[in-house]
Structure 1
Amino acid sequence: MLKSTLGIAIAFSLCAVAHAAKQGQGVVNFKGTVIDAPFGIDPDSADQTIDFGQISKSHLDADGISVKKDLNIKLVNCEPNKSVKVTFAGATIASATNELGTAGDTGTAVVISGQDGKLVSFGTEGSAQSLQEGENTLHYSSWVKKATGGTVKEGDFTADA
């Protein structure tokens, strides 16, 4: 009887020690940047990836374009009666400042147009857009086309603006 009582006591003490062991641990990292601007950029809008998927070479060769994709920039905590001018930067096709060159030797370019339908000229400040208090979304469209002077080739491409 003494042996079984001692065995039960040892088993309970081992369970108590096992229960007291640390469970999962982790770290929460916080980051951000304080800026002097009349608005902030929503974190989901700051870095975006637009996937054009597969585009027909023959379609691009015939001066076609890919499906247009939305490119929206959400601004938060906007001050009223202010405006914003957006500049898209990136390596352009020679003599075509509205065509963003692509990496991958596919002979393609990315084009962006504003909400007004005007093509974005990379490296040039766009026209002023008025802000309302609170949240504002700047709407753009983007697509892929045959680069001016380019020869369309099969392969993957990327571009950064």
Structure 2
Amino acid sequence: MKLKSIVSVMACSMLFAGSVFAADEGSGTVKFEGSIIDAPCSISASTQNQIIPMGAISNKSIYSKDGKLKSNFTIKLEDCTVATKKNVTITFSGAAKDGLLALEGTTKGAGIQIDDSYGVPMVLGTASAAVPMLAGENDLKFNAYLKPISAAASADDIQPGNFTATVTFTLNYL
């Protein structure tokens, strides 16, 4: 009888010892962010907050190409219903210099111009022309490129360096 009790106690302690001495094999956290909006479309999470690589562009190219070296980006609208609102406008906002999106960093003499998919320049702080929407998915396509500010009389007036620029967008459904 004593032997059965000892074996039972040993078996139970082995079960608990295994969990007490288990090694940490990794852990982490998952954080979810978002917002709920009252709108006929959802903004795709993949295009709501983007980083657009512009590349390493020569100051001479910026001055001579004037918009030919474009970086394209899209704002994707999903699950759109067009029962009550059939159009959308977009307004880009950000720090401006000479009508261009201002660059932050060590470079000087240039800014970013954003055009719609038809090549029409977007004016910062001003709503675009109304774009008709389709039920389902809609892609709002844009081009961005570096352009000399008015004070840059030549390519030599565009100072090389690193830059960033941030623009926000606001949609308005009509």
TM class, shorter-length: 0.7 to 0.9
**Correspondence 1:59 to 2:61:** yes
1:28-47 correspondence runs (5 A): 28-47=30-49
Matched pairs, number: 151
**Correspondence 1:93 to 2:89:** no
How far 1:85 sits from its partner (Å)?
Answer: 0.4
Q: Which amino acid is 1:85 matched to? A: T
How far 1:29 sits from its partner (Å)?
Answer: 3.0
Partner residue in 2 for 1:154 = 160
1:104-123 correspondence runs (5 A): 104=105, 105-123=107-125
Structure 2: tracts of 5 or more residues without a match: 1-5, 168-174
Partner residue in 2 for 1:17 = 17
Measured in 1, the distance between the counterparts of 2:14 and 2:109 equals 69
SS at match of 1:18: helix
SS at match of 1:45: helix
> Contact 1:39–1:76 at 8 Å: present in 2 too?
yes
Structure 1: tracts of 5 or more residues without a match: 1-5
Name the Cα RMSD after superposition.
2.7
The two structures have a TM-score, normalised by structure 2, of 0.74
Measured in 2, the distance between the counterparts of 1:56 and 1:64 equals 12
